[in-house]
Amino acid sequence: MGCLFSRRRKPAQSEQQQAAVGAGREAAAGEEKAPQYSWDQRAKIDPKDYTFSGLKGETVGRLPGKVAGQQFIIQDCENCSIYIFDHSATITIDDCVNCQIFLGPIKGSVFFRDCKDCKCIVACQQFRTRDCRKLEVFLCCATQPIIESSTGMKFGCFQYYYPELALQFKDAGLSIFNNTWSNIHDFTPVSGENNWGLLPENTVVQDYVPLPSSEELKAVRISTDATKSIIPVTRGRRQKSSDESCLAVFFAGDYTTANARKLIDEMTGKGFQLVQTKEVSMKAEDAHRVFQQRASEFIPLLEKGPVVALEFSGDGAVEACQSTINDVFSGTKVFVSESKASASQDVDNFYNFADMQMGM
C-alpha cells in the first residue's frame, strides 16, 4: 500500500527536453539581466536645441538650465537679440550681422568669426575673434583675449546679474575675480593703426544689449547695475586717477568671496577705484616673493586654498584700506600694503607672479 504522504513521481525528461528547458531559462535570464551602459541611459541630444541658425529680426534665447554645459552654435543671424542664460562648454558665432548677444559663462572658448556690427556681453575662459568688424563687447575673460584680422573692436568690463549666474560661473570653472577684459592681444596688428580700444567709462550696458523683450525670457531676473554685477567692475588698463595704489589679499576661508566683495563696496563707496582683481593659488616660495618680510605670517594660510587679491587706486588709498580692514575685518587675516612707499611694489610683485602662474 502506498503511504498517505507519498508523491507520484513525474516521468523522467529526455536529454533533449532538458536541454530545451535549460536554454529557455538562460534566454529568460538574459532578458531580465541585460547589461546596462551609461551611454544607453543618456538623454538623446538634439543639435537643434543647441543651435541658432539663419534667423532674421528675432529675439531668441535659452533659460537657465536649458544648455547645462553643452556646446552651442550661433550662425547666419541678422538683426537678432540672442540670450544664452546658462553655462556652456564652447560657443562659436559665425557670420552674424547687427545682433545683440548675451552669453553666460563658457567653460572653454568663444570664437567670433566673420561677424560685424554686433554688441555682446560675454563671460568665458578664452575669447577670440577672426575677420570681425565693429564688435562692442562687455567681457569677462580668464585668459588674455585675442583678436585676429579684426578692426573696430571695443571692449568694456562685464557687468550683469541674475540669481542663477553665480552657480553657473562655478559650474563653468570660472572665478569671478579673474578677468583680463582689457588686456587685448592683437594677433595681426597693422603699423600706424589701432584695431581695438576701450568703451567709455560711463557706458550703459542696456544701451548696447537691451533686456530681452520676449515673455519667456523676461522671467530671468536681470540687473545691469554695476554694484550688483556678479563680476567686480574693474578699470583694467584705463589710466589711473592717482599714482597711489594699494594691495589687499584675502586668504581662503568660508567667507573669502563675501569679504572681498565687502571691501570692494567699502572702498568704492569712498571714491576709490578698483583697478584689478585676481584669484590664484600660492606656494611658500611665492609668499616670500610677494609678502617679503611678512611671508612667514601668511605661509600657513596658503594651504587652505587660493587667495583673492584686490588693487585699489586713489589718493589716500593705502590709509583708507588699512582703516577699513581694521574697522570691518578685525577678526580676518588680510595682507594689506603697509605704506604708500611700498604699495606700488606690492602690487607689481603680486600681479607679476599671478600673470606668470596663469601663463600670461
Q: Which residues are annotated as a binding site for GTP?
A: 108-109, 125-128
d(CA 78, CA 219) in angstroms, rounded, equals 24
Phi, psi for residue 338 in degrees, rounded to 5? -85, -25
| Residue at grid coordinates 556681453 | 121
Cell triple for 208? 548696447
**∠ CA 277-280-283, rounded to 5°:** 135
| Residue at grid coordinates 554645459 | 69
Phi, psi for residue 224 in degrees, rounded to 5? -110, 15
Cβ neighbours around 72 below 10 Å, total: 22
d(CA 114, CA 130) in angstroms, rounded, equals 7
Q: Please state the residue numbers annotated as binding site.
A: 108-109, 125-128
Residues 288-294: contacts with CB under 8 Å, at least 24 apart: 289/349, 289/353, 290/249, 290/346, 290/349, 290/350, 290/353, 291/335, 292/349, 294/335
| Residue at grid coordinates 562655478 | 170
Phi, psi for residue 26 in degrees, rounded to 5? -65, -40
Q: How far lies 290's CA from each of 56, 108, 309, 310, 337, in Å?
A: 53, 30, 11, 14, 11
Nearest to 358 by CA among 232, 174, 139: 174
Residues shown for the chain:
360
Name the β-bridge partners of 106.
88, 124
Contact 335, 311 (CB under 8 A): no
